[in-house]
Homo-oligomer: A and B are copies of this chain.
Amino acid sequence: MSENGALPRLGKVLTADTMNANVKKVDYAVRGPIVQRAVQIEKELKEGVKKPFEEVIKANIGDAHAMGQRPITFFRQVMALCTYPLLLDDNKFPEDVKNRARRILQSCGGNSIGAYTTSQGIDCVRHDVANYIQRRDGGIPSDPDNIYLTTGASDGIVTILKLLNTGEGRTRTGVMISIPQYPLYSASIAELGAVQVNYYLNEEKCWSLDISELQRSLQAAREHCNPSVLCIINPGNPTGQVQSRQCIEDVIQFAAKENLFLMADEVSNAFFTKGCEFHSFKKVLFEMGPEYSSKVELASFHSTSKCYMGECGFRGGYMEVINMDPEVKAQLTKLVSVRLCPPAPGQALMDLVVNSPQPGEPSHQTFMKERTAILSALAEKAKLTEQILNTVPGISCNPVQGAMYSFPRITLPERSINEAKAKGQAPDMFYCMKLLEETGICLVPGSGFGQREGTYHFRMTILPPTDKLKTLLNKLKEFHQKFTQQYS
């Protein structure tokens, strides 16, 4: 206090001017202004405000359950038993459900999912993950010591970026990321103060990845930073493409030659187009022989949130690290221990995903039926999206080969572009905002993911139920035609 006892008139400690400047640079379009407006509109509808539509259809985020997808029965039964173990005596639950629950509980401190787990994650879960990876990759060994359970995949990705983040000015870590990209990457890079190094996917060739473009991007970046890590999202988010085995091999070769740490974001592991199958970076790396498999540093990421599971709320995930320097690995283990452990229910759920019911087990049939139904519906909706959108003049949509997103290109009339710019808005934000206000459809503008200068897109999930998706696509078609007329 000042001498007369009154408090000095000081401003706030923490203001927009004094706060961490890197945090201010963070952008996260998937939950940006358009989604905030959608939430407002929902409130207005509830309060009886008249709108030209009756509900907001959210196709902005890969949130399957919110879009009506039902959870897998087996997963939820085991989780209920882990949560309230007295249900182990209830004969309405099948034996395989009980066995899985018992096994998980036995690995928890005091047999409770309420105990902290080890920082790297529950032992038996990491073993199950390693076995799963080994099966997935045709027998290429996976070591449970290389598995770290995470709080969703995002947590793992940010942790690896943290380890790599170093230097100042021209020695600052550069992180190579595809454009378009999932904005977790740009946001984390901004927060850490690292340098985002863009390489462009080839929209004309179904969002494929050209090594020559990687080379161009790397060379340009070396002028001003130290690009040391290459991030790949496969299947693509927001672009929905699936990379060929050849492309993955080329990327690995490039990383080896240029001494880049590889981060493979493989969370959106679902496939719809014939001939498009999943090749894990790990498998391809090991098939390339010891010259590569003993050298290239790789971290790959997986989660419970995508594919047929859609269990986003549990925040389950894992990462596998390959060829990580043992001292760095010890540092990684130390770093994750500061947060104590990932959520135990998410870890348990991750276990069930990698250790699902096997033929002969009582839950197998229902599990397969539920899983197949979800994946078939996704495949159907992927096709539907591509087909309907491509009938609209001014919209062109690459095939949705995997994941759960489409990223169609839209042609915007010059006048709308100018009007947007006058308002200080990205032209595709202007478009999406108008779409939301007029139809209730919530999409994310392409500018939130990055796109080639002068091109415009939006990201749309294919998750709404088929009927609603048809409505959405037809409304969108109508809107686009109207919008084009209005601004032509």
Contacts and interface: CB of A to CB of B under 8 A. Distances in A.
Interface of A: 1, 6-8, 10, 12-16, 18-21, 23-24, 26-28, 31, 39, 61, 63-69, 71, 76-77, 79-80, 83-84, 87, 108-110, 112-119, 151-152, 154-155, 158, 162-166, 183-184, 187-188, 191, 228-229, 253, 256-257, 259-261, 291-292, 295, 297, 310-315, 323-325, 327-328, 331, 334-335, 337-346
Contact of A16 (B76, B187, B327, B341): B327
Nearest to A87: B80
A63 B331 contact: no
Contacts of A158: 339
A109 B66 contact: yes
Given A10-B259, A228-B13, A26 B163 contact: no
A11 to B, nearest CB: 8
Contact of A19 (B117, B164, B311): B164
A211 B187 CA distance: 40
Contacts of A331: 16, 19, 23-24
A337 B259 contact: no
Contacts of A292: 7
A484 to B, nearest CB: 32
Contacts of A253: 1
27 contacts: A1-B257, A7-B256, A7-B292, A8-B257, A12-B325, A13-B228, A13-B260, A14-B297, A14-B324, A18-B166, A18-B228, A19-B328, A21-B166, A23-B162, A26-B338, A39-B118, A83-B83, A113-B314, A115-B313, A117-B313, A154-B340, A158-B339, A191-B335, A313-B344, A314-B345, A315-B343, A343-B343
Given A83-B79, A110-B69, A115-B65, A13 B259 contact: yes
Contacts of A116: 61, 63, 66, 312-313
B310 A187 contact: no
A447 to B, nearest CB: 16
A343 B313 contact: yes
Given A84-B79, A152-B340, A338-B26, A12 B313 contact: no
A164 B114 CA distance: 32
A20 B166 contact: yes
A79 to B, nearest CB: 5
Contact of A20 (B108, B109, B164): B164
Contacts of A229: 13
A163 B114 contact: no
B110 A328 contact: no
A80 B339 CA distance: 26
Closest 7 CB pairs of A and B: A66-B109, A313-B344, A80-B84, A65-B112, A16-B327, A31-B337, A66-B115
Given A162-B23, A165-B20, A331-B24, A313 B114 contact: yes
A118 B43 CA distance: 14
B166 A314 contact: no
A336 B233 CA distance: 22
Contacts of A335: 23, 26, 191
Given A79-B83, A115-B313, A155 B339 contact: yes
B19 A166 contact: yes
Contacts of A260: 13
A248 to B, nearest CB: 17
